[in-house]
Amino acid sequence: MFKEDGLTFLVDKKFLEEAKPIKVDFGMMGFRIESSLNLGGGKDACSSCGSGSCG
């Protein structure tokens, strides 16, 4: 647990070591979390999504 700019964050120590740096931002659509981890996926993860058969 640590504090940054008046906010308190709780992050698993092992995960933090693997993912750092971690950036948390808040915008009109909600939270956005960025890290050094490559989670795969993203907008191109499912090639059949455009046809309505993703899932």
Read off the pLDDT of residues 1-55 as tens digits, 9 standing for 90 and up.
889 889 898 999 999 999 999 998 988 889 888 999 987 766 555 555 555 555 5
Please tell me the pTM assigned to this model: 0.54
pLDDT at 17: 92
CA distances from 2 to 11, 12, 25, 53, 55 (A): 8, 11, 16, 43, 38
pLDDT at 31: 87
Gap between the Cα atoms of 26 and 53, Å rounded: 32
Gap between the Cα atoms of 10 and 17, Å rounded: 13
